[in-house]
Amino acid sequence: MDLASFVYLGVTFGLFVIFALIVIRTYNKKNKDKGEVAKYNMLDDD
Amino acid sequence: MWEKKPILLIVLATCAILVGTIVTVVLPFAWVNTEADRIEGVTPYTALQQEGRDVYIREGCNNCHSQTVRPLVSDVLRYGEYSKSGEFVYDRPFLWGSKRTGPDLARLGGKYPDAWHYKHMDSPRSMVPKTNMPDYKWLRDYPLDPQMIQRKMETLGFPYTAEEIKALKGKNDMDAIVAYMQKLGSDIPWREATETAIVGELVNPYTDTDQATISSWGSIFMENCAACHGARMEGEIGPELIGEDYDDEILFELIYSGITDGGMPSFSSLGTDKVWKLTNFIRNYKAGGDQ
Amino acid sequence: MEKQNYNYAIVRSFVVWSMIWGLVAVLVGVIVSFQMVEPGLNFPPYLTFGRLRPIHTNAGIYGWAVGVIFATFLYIVQRLCKTPLWSDKLAKFQLYFFNATIIASAVTLLLGYTTSKEYHEMEWPIDVMIIILWVVFGLNIIMTILKRKDEQMYISLWYMMAAIIGVAILFVVNSAAMPVSLFKSYSAYAGTNDANVEWWFGHNAVAMALTAPPLAMFYYFLPKSTGVPIYSHRLSIIAFWSLIFMYLWTGAHHLLWTPIPDWIQTLAMGFSVMLIAPSWGSVFNGYLSMNGQWHQMRENYLVKFLILGITFYGLQTLQGPMQAIRTFSAFIHYTDWVPAHIHMGTMGWVSMICFASIYFMVPRIWNREIYSIPLANLQFWLILVGQLIWSISLWVAGVLQAGMWNAMNSDGSLTYTFMETMVEMYPYWWARAFGGIIYLFGLVVFIYNLYMTVKKGEPTAVTTATAEGRV
């Protein structure tokens, strides 16, 4: 494997890690209620 | 975090947008249009050709005609050698198009003589009866503006001479667009390179066919030949065909391979069978005959 | 909350003007569809297909879609942030400048001043106008968001901000040009680079102008119409980041088999397929929000528009990736299949959502009940049927022509000449023109209904019910 392959794999893996972190953070149990606050708030803007 | 901070969200969203942008749009500048894909023989447009290109753009020809031949069998057979990156280094903007309501034009240059283009632009339906291309005869009413064209050449950094600019006087948009058509895809000698060599002995498969059947092949002639050689073979852009006395094999070869430097396109894309039918039809046609 | 000093006047103006430009777009579309079947309908130099087609596309995108984006964003941002607009003066300027820009675009395109770059044909002075317009608009929206009352931002605001930034980047980069005169310029990029930049722009204009904003509208107007919250705010967060990240890699799927470097084409193909996930994330979020509410499809015409709209979005984002695959692209690219695909997106997905959004807003910004719900239903069926005739006839035409282009004789030669394949298109082009007329009729019903609402509609009852869109 040459340098380019390592960079390629590294970038791909890095992107995957970022994605995984976003999913973990978003679906964190502690956030369960907080994460859904906005969808109720938007309903009573009338 | 970002759900509560709009500025942070905007910054992060910008980063997300820029990753794909940098990789697929910014990086390629490092090697596209560099020495690596430069092709010898590809030259900038002359003043007249460039003006023709601008007429092509102005009239939105790119809405119906593409200008890239893909490396696919049907594309290459129909239009010619597939397009290469280095052929487009002087194209600002690119004109590859996205729709083929009409045929691809990337390899049009040199396919037909100028006279064909003038007649076709005047009235496409006079040559291709069922086409939906509008008439562009009116382009003849618009004289060129040599001063403006000179400014364009300056902006583009293309070489030109004073005589070249002077020669534009008296010419019109039609002259310009025809000059542009003849330049398209002709910078590389692909036509010579891809000339079809006919292998084996040529044998006319229709020597015993009766006159009525041969006459019924007139529709192939009307669709492919009549626009230049006349519906009654009286000749117009191309020569009169009545009374020609080539051998069957030679006539077949002329139609199949065309006359590259004589304005006669190759009709190999019709297939050998149709070309043999044309050969027999032309040989058997009598002046004022039963067309 | 109604006592808030919301600026509805500006929303009203944008609703009216977007509909006018929408009517122009569809009308010109119908005209060019007839020019396709009868070349005698071209009247040179101004009224030819080559000059009118960009007016059709740009009136549709910049007049109708962007007009509705302006109207809905200015409405949604005030409601979601529970605060009036940051600057009413700027919004007023935006309205006048918007119309000036659209008129200038139409006139210059008719005169033949064009860059030829698809969906970006206008010459450089108008590019400058569009950039000013977008900055003024973006600034107003973002500043309003900054002074919002609720700390957590609802998903619609995310899509709105992404759209503002995304369009700005795309448009500026693709505008770069060397001017020769006031109405003529040459692209700053040449050949293959120019193609790559243009389709990065072209495809992501679809992402940032015709996907993110309608999603912002959908995420806002669906819950407001049904009275039930969106299924999952968190799912929409995942979909949001994936969508805006992946879209930008896919432009080159418009350039498969061209001289664009192969690896860019391959990336575009891969990311296009991956895009199914975030697209369908939003589709599922919409469908699952309807859990226990499906009866509203019968009772609430707004829901009908919105759910059909998101369904076409789902179909669009399956068909799109399919076309982005090399083998399939080799077959159908350059045929009439492609406009059929685009029109399912614009006439089905984007416009359905726009119609619903306007129907939702009108009673609230004019204080008038919709004049006639039966007319709204009639319009729904007209635009649905018109669009289906349009798209299905050209899908068939595209497959037919692609098959004929590729047909070969046993000696390895092509079976059909180009003209033999083209003449087969006429019946389908007629069908398409017919579909367009039905759609146009639907649009006229829409405009009539709203005109009568404003003229003769009953004043809205004072209500605080969130489900007041219900019938």
| Residue ranges making up the domain that contains A26 | 3-44
Q: Please determine, for residue C436, whether its predicted confidence score (pLDDT) is greater than 60.
A: yes
Closest alpha carbon within chain B to C415: B270
Q: What is the DSSP letter of A1?
A: -
Q: Which two tokens stand for residue B75?
A: 């594309």
Dist CA C202 CA B98 (whole Å): 11
Same domain? B56 vs B121? yes
Please tell me if residue B272 touches chain C, with a CB cutoff of 8 Å: yes
Measured over the CA atoms of residue B218, residue B221, residue B227 and residue B228, the dihedral's sign is negative
Same domain, yes or no, for B172 and B63?
Answer: yes
If you measure CA to CA, which chain B residue comes closest to C165? B14
| Structure-block tokens of residue C34 | 């007839």
Asked if residue B197 is part of any domain, the answer here is no
pLDDT score of C466 more than 80? no
Q: Which of B70-84, B201-215, C282-296, C419-433 is the least confident region?
A: B201-215
- Summarize the confidence of residues B133-148 as an average pLDDT: 97
Confidence of residue C3 (pLDDT cuts 50, 70, 90): low
Please give the pLDDT value at position A46.
Answer: 63
Mutate to test the interface with A, among C234, C289, C460 (most CBs of A within 10 A): C234
Q: Torsion over CA of B88, B179, B185 and C410, rounded to 10 degrees? A: 150
Cβ-defined contact of C234 to A35 (cutoff 8 Å): yes
The answer to whether A36 faces chain C, any CB pair under 8 Å, is yes
pLDDT score of B200: 77
Write the pLDDT tens digit of every residue in C247-265. 999 999 999 999 999 999 9
Q: Are residues B184 and B221 in the same domain?
A: no
State residue C460's pLDDT score.
Answer: 86
Q: What is the pLDDT of residue B291?
A: 43
pLDDT at A33: 79
Answer whether B134 touches C (CB < 8 Å).
yes
* Three-class secondary structure of residue A33 per DSSP: coil
**Residue C461 predicted with pLDDT over 90:** no
Residue type, B162: A
Could you check whether the bond before residue C45 is cis, i.e. omega within 30 degrees of 0? yes
Residue B245: the pLDDT is 80
A41 and C152: CB-CB below 8 Å? yes
Closest partner residue to A38 among C79, C233, C464, by Cβ?
Answer: C233
Q: Domains in chain B: how many in total?
A: 2
Residue B285 is predicted with a pLDDT of 84
Q: Are residues B58 and B188 in the same domain?
A: yes
Token pair of C322 as six digits: 């399919």
Q: Which of B59, B99, B151 sits opposite C334 (nearest CB)?
A: B99
C224: contact with A, CB 8 A cutoff: yes
Give the phi and the psi of residue C108 in degrees, each rounded to 5.
-70, -35
Contacts of B203 (CB under 8 A, 6+ apart): none
Neighboring chain C residues of B90 at a CB cutoff of 8 Å: 190-191
Residue B3 placed within a domain: no
**pTM, to two decimals:** 0.94
Buried b or exposed e, range C29-55, using 16+ CB within 10 angstroms:
bbbbbbbbbebebbebbebbbbbbbbb
User: What percent of chain C stands above pLDDT 70?
Assistant: 97
Q: Tell me how crowded residue C402 is: count the other CB atoms within 10 A of its CB.
A: 21
Residue B9 inside a domain? The answer is: no
pLDDT tens per residue, range C337-348: 999 999 999 999
The whole-number pLDDT of residue C238 equals 94
b/e per residue B79-93 (b: at least 16 CB within 10 A) = bbbbbbbbbbbbbbb
Tell me the ipTM for this assembly.
Answer: 0.94
Residue C217, chain A, CB below 8 Å: the answer is: no
pLDDT in tens, C51-93: 999 999 999 999 999 999 999 999 999 999 999 999 999 999 9
Q: Where are the domains of chain C?
A: 9-456
**pLDDT exceeds cutoff 50 at C407:** yes
C468 pLDDT tier (thresholds 50, 70, 90):
very low
What type of residue is C88? D
CA atoms within 13 A on the CB side of C406: 17
Using an 8 Å CB-CB cutoff, list chain C residues near A43.
223-224, 227, 229, 466
pLDDT digits over B46-67, tens only?
999 999 999 999 999 999 999 9
Cα B204 vs. chain centroid, distance in angstroms?
A: 31
Report the C-alpha gap between C417 and B220 in whole angstroms: 11
The reply to whether B181 and B262 lie within a common domain is: no
Query: Which is more confidently placed, C288 or B286?
Result: C288
Around C12, how many Cα atoms within 13 Å sit in the side-chain half-sphere? 14
Per-chain mean pLDDT for chain A: 88
C257 in contact with chain A, both atoms CB, cutoff 8 A: no
What is the reported pLDDT for C462? 52
- 3-state SS track over chain B: CCCCCHHHHHHHHHHHHHHHHHHHHHHHHHCCCCHHHCCCCCCCCCHHHHHHHHHHHHCCHHHCCCCCCCCCHHHHHHHCCCCCHHHHCCCCCCCCCCECCCCCCCCCCCCCCHHHHHHHHHCHHHHCCCCCCCCCHHHHHCECCHHHHHHHHHHHCCCCCHHHHHCCCCCEHHHHHHHHHHHCCCCCCHHHHCCCCCCCCCCCCCCCCCHHHHHCCHHHHHHHCHHHHCCCCCCCCCCCCCCCCCCHHHHHHHHHHCECCCCECCCHHHCHHHHHHHHHHHHHCCCCCCC
Q: How many domains does chain A have?
A: 1
- Please report the pLDDT score of residue B37 as a whole number: 86
Q: Residue B129, preceding bond cis, omega within 30 degrees? A: no
B88: containing domain? 47-192
Do B151 and B233 fall into the same domain? no
Query: pLDDT per residue over C237-246, tens digit each?
Result: 999 999 999 9
CATH code of B70's domain: 1.10.760.10
Is the pLDDT assigned to residue C141 strictly greater than 80?
A: yes
In A, minimum Cα distance to C228 occurs at A43
User: Stretch B275-280: mean pLDDT, rounded?
Assistant: 92
Q: Which of A42, A44, A46 to mutate to test the interface with C (most CBs of C within 10 A)?
A: A42
pLDDT of residue B261: 78
Taking contacts as CB-CB distances below 8 angstroms, the residues of chain A near C361 are none
Residues of A in contact with C275 (CB under 8 A): none
Mean pLDDT of C98-120: 97
Lowest mean pLDDT across B244-258, C26-40, C145-159: B244-258
Q: Is residue B187 within 8 angstroms of chain C, CB to CB?
A: no
User: How many Å lie between the alpha carbon of C331 and the closest alpha carbon of chain B?
Assistant: 10
Q: What is the DSSP code (8-state) at residue A32?
A: T
Residue C183 has pLDDT above 80, yes or no: yes
CA-CA distance, C339 to C395, in Å (whole number)? 9
B57-79: average pLDDT:
96
- The burial class, CB within 10 Å (0-12 / 13-18 / 19+), for C327 is exposed
Are B6 and C339 a contacting pair at CB < 8 A? no
Pair of tokens at residue A25: 């953070």
- Structural domain includes residue B139: yes
The 10s digit of each residue's pLDDT in B180-209 is 999 999 999 988 777 767 777 888 999 888
Closest residue in C to B134 (Cα) is C39
Residues of C in contact with B71 (CB under 8 A): 257
A-to-C residue pairs, Cβ atoms closer than 8 angstroms: 58
Q: Which residue has the higher pLDDT, C264 or B271?
A: C264
Predicted confidence (pLDDT) per residue in C311-342, tens digit:
999 999 999 999 999 999 999 999 999 999 99
Which CATH class name applies to C9-456? mainly alpha
Q: Which residue carries 């003209």 as its tokens?
A: C419
Mean pLDDT score across all residues of chain C: 95
Q: Is C170 on the interface with A (CB under 8 A)?
A: no
Q: Which subunits count as partners of chain A given 3+ CB pairs below 8 Å?
A: C
CA distance C18 to chain B (A): 26
Q: What is the reported pLDDT for B287?
A: 54
pLDDT at C297 over 60: yes
Q: Do C267 and B156 touch (CB under 8 A)?
A: no
Nearest-Cα residue of chain B relative to residue C234 = B3
Q: Which residue has the tokens 């409601």?
A: C79
Asked if C409 and B271 come within 8 Å (Cβ–Cβ), the reply is yes
Mean pLDDT, chain B, rounded, equals: 92
Q: Burial, C230: exposed, middle or buried (Cβ in 10 Å; 0-12, 13-18, 19+)? A: buried
Interchain pair C200, B21: CB under 8 A: yes
φ, ψ for residue B200, nearest 5 deg: 80, 175
